Amino acid sequence: MLEKNISLKADMKKLVESERGYLTKVAKSCGVGHTVISKFYNNEDREIDAFQNLVKVVKEMFPDNFDRYIEEYCLALSPNGKTLKSALEYASIHKKKDLEKELIEKLKQHKKADVKELATIYEINANLHSETYDNNLKKIYNLDNILPESKVLSKIVQSYVYYYEGEYSKAINTLVGVDSLLEELEIDEYVKRLYESRLASLHVGLNLREGDINKVIEYGEEILKRDIDSPLNTWIMLNMGNAYIVSNYESSMKYLNKAKESSIAEKDNNKLTEVERSIVFVKCYWGKDVQPESITGNEVSDLHNKAFAYINKNDKQAAKEVLDLIDVDTLNHDSKSFNYFYRGLLTGNKEDFYNSISSFMAVGDKHYRVLSINELRKLGENEVLLMTLSS
């Protein structure tokens, strides 16, 4: 039940009564029964029958105020509300940190201990980046995982821990059998489909790092065909585009442009920025015309792209000046790998490419290291050695 009145219900009722046949039209458009909708807004403390129906109806009726109304509903839920777990998954996957924190605290007050543990798993996930690697794993190992969905979510979160640490093989092994386990779960359909999206996003990202392009595309296409309304779709398409960076310009741009369209539709500028960085990189890699002056960002990725654009125009001095703005010692292995790659392009020095490969290997990446391996191949490096570095 809802613990307090929400303006959403009154606003729904007002809109329905303002136009004859409006409720029938909304119900048909959303695929939600009109009695489900009317019972919801006509009863002050009544929850919606299923959270995904709330999402559909509010998105149809109030597209410009969607976030406000959904958050209002979530915060009104009681600790034992039947849609609270779905609301928490919504807040978690959409990175709504403040809302997620409040819903975790609500779920901790649930009358059942096994449900409270689900709140603990979400809390571990929410704090992954503020906790140490060892502490995160320790908390996961201490879980009882009584609920079937807890077993699935804890494996997903454990895989996140390994992924962020660059232990891609461990992350992949952690997910063995989880897809089948999820398929058998009889849980809220909204939550189940978002768990599917989480798993697919992990499979795509991990197999990209493992250099298995076929699996990247296979997992990506399969999940996109299911048409799940998930914020992870943009990242999935981004990684599918990145998978083709070295091998196929047209295929890479196809998925990157889809990711761009998705981020624009979401009105997510952070995602859009990341996608546009990949687009610039792909264009530079394939020798397309990119004006260095058009790259105005000051993040390391932006400076790298700007240097790449100058290198392609054979303006080595300008490229060097841009790269020298970056303190290599402060970079993580991922950024350092690319930095050495660009320096190799600038100097033609094999040592830079070997340093790039070494940094990529430090995080277990087999995909992007191919960039430097191919440059060494152009410089006539021993093929047997290069094949060894690729494996």
- The string of DSSP letters for 120-163 reads HHHHHHHTTTTS-HHHHHHHHHT----SHHHHHHHHHHHHHHHH
- Mean pLDDT estimate for the chain: 95
369 pLDDT above the threshold of 90: yes
Given a cut of 90, whether residue 101 has pLDDT beyond it is yes
Q: From the CA atom positions of the chain, what is the Rg in Å? A: 24
pLDDT exceeds cutoff 90 at 244: yes
In 3D space, the residue among 229, 239, 237 whose CA is nearest the CA of residue 266 turns out to be: 229
Nearest of 37, 43, 79 to residue 61 by alpha carbon: 37
Contact 238, 256 (CB under 8 A): yes
Residue 142 in this model has a pLDDT that exceeds 90: yes
Using left for φ > 0, alpha for ψ between -120 and 50, and beta otherwise, residue 46 falls in beta
Report pLDDT for 186: 92
Question: Helix or strand or coil: residue 77?
Answer: strand
Answer yes or no: is pLDDT of 110 > 90: yes
Residue 332 scores a pLDDT above 90: no
The CB density around residue 105, as the number of other CB atoms within 10 Å, is 12
CA distance 137 to 144: 14
| pLDDT tens digits for range 247-267 | 999 999 999 999 999 999 999
Return the bridge partners of 2, or none.
77
CA-CA distance, 222 to 215, in Å (whole number)?
10
Separation between Cα atoms, residue 74 and residue 170, nearest integer Å = 35
Q: Inter-axis angle of helices 7-17 and 66-76, to 10 degrees?
A: 130
pLDDT at 362: 87
Quote the pLDDT of residue 333.
85
Residue 67 in this model has a pLDDT that exceeds 90:
yes
Rounded Cα distance between 136 and 134, Å, is 5
Structure tokens at 352: 């830079």
- The proportion of the chain whose per-residue pLDDT surpasses 90, expressed as a percent, equals 94
Tens of pLDDT along 34-65? 999 999 999 999 999 999 999 999 999 999 99
Measured at the CA of 138, the angle between CA 137 and CA 141, to 5 degrees, comes to 85
C-alpha distances (whole Å) from 352 to each of 175, 347, 349, 356 are 35, 8, 6, 6
> What pLDDT does 363 receive?
83
pLDDT for residue 168: 86
